[in-house]
Structure formats: structure tokens, C-alpha cells
């Protein structure tokens, strides 16, 4: 599962589509965590798609991740500022790849 303390345990190494990327990153096998308020661990995401289907405000968009061992697309929190903290995505992800900081 995603480390809910990633903000303490990781460092921001990049920016992607207006959100932070938390390392370590070693492309294409290791992609880190995308987003902060809505954080997706790209190294855990296996492209189930439930988060894209269920988010009521369309926070997620697919991005390509060719060469990653888990999946060749990832759910990117492209619109994390729109999140309404419903926690649906956290509940439906089968591999617990998403952390939403609703505190």
C-alpha cells in the first residue's frame, strides 16, 4: 500500500502537470508518487481504473508508463485541486495505491 507518511519519508524530485512527484524515480521501472493532496503511488498502481470510473469530480487521467513492471498506464491525479475528499478512490483501489489527505 502507499505510504501515508510519504511527505515525511520522501522528497519532491519533479513536477508533472502542475503536481509534485515524490521520489525515488528511476524511469521506466520506478516512477514514485504523483500528487500531494491526492497521491497515487505509480509503483503500486496496476491500472485497475476504478478510481477514474468512480471519482465524482474527475480528478484522475490516464498517463502512459511504458516499461513499468506493474502497468503501462497510470492514474494521474491531474486535477487534484478539484478533490472533494469523498474517499471513494481510496476505498475502491484494489491495491491501495491512493492516499487522500482529508485532514
Which of ligand SF4, Zn ion, ligand F3S, none has residue 81 at its interface (CB below 5 to 8 Å by kind)? Answer: none
- Answer for which of 33, 55, 93, 97 binds ligand SF4 (CB under 6 A) is 55
What is residue 53's DSSP assignment?
A: H
Which of ligand SF4, ligand F3S, Zn ion, none has residue 39 at its interface (CB below 5 to 8 Å by kind)? Answer: none
Residue 20 touches Zn ion, criterion: CB under 5 A: no
> Per-residue string for binding with Zn ion, 72-91, x by CB under 5 A?
----x---------------
Which of Zn ion, ligand F3S, ligand SF4, none has residue 76 at its interface (CB below 5 to 8 Å by kind)? Answer: Zn ion
The four Cα atoms 30, 34, 39, 42 give a dihedral, to 10 degrees, of: -30
Q: Which residues bind ligand SF4 (CB under 6 A)?
A: 38, 54-57, 59, 83-89, 100
Amino acid at each position: 500500500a502507499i505510504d501515508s507518511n510519504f511527505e515525511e519519508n520522501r522528497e519532491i524530485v519533479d513536477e508533472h502537470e502542475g503536481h509534485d512527484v515524490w521520489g525515488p524515480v528511476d524511469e521506466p521501472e520506478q516512477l514514485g508518487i504523483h500528487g500531494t493532496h491526492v497521491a497515487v503511488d505509480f509503483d503500486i498502481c496496476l491500472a485497475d481504473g476504478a478510481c477514474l470510473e468512480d471519482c465524482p469530480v474527475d480528478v484522475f487521467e490516464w498517463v502512459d508508463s511504458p516499461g513499468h513492471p506493474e502497468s503501462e498506464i497510470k492514474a494521474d491525479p491531474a486535477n487534484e485541486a478539484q478533490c472533494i475528499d469523498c474517499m471513494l478512490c481510496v476505498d475502491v483501489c484494489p491495491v491501495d495505491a491512493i492516499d487522500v489527505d482529508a485532514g
